[in-house]
Amino acid sequence: MKAVAKPIRVAIVKFVIQVFAFIAINCCFQKYYFYLEWQGLAVTFEDLAALGF
This prediction has a pTM of 0.43
Q: CA nearest 53: which of 11, 1, 17?
A: 17
pLDDT over threshold 60, residue 53: no
Q: What pLDDT is recorded for position 31?
A: 65
Q: What pLDDT is recorded for position 33?
A: 67
Q: CA nearest 51: which of 10, 20, 18, 26?
A: 18
How confident is the model over 3-45, as pLDDT tens digits? 777 888 889 999 998 888 887 777 667 666 666 666 666 566 6
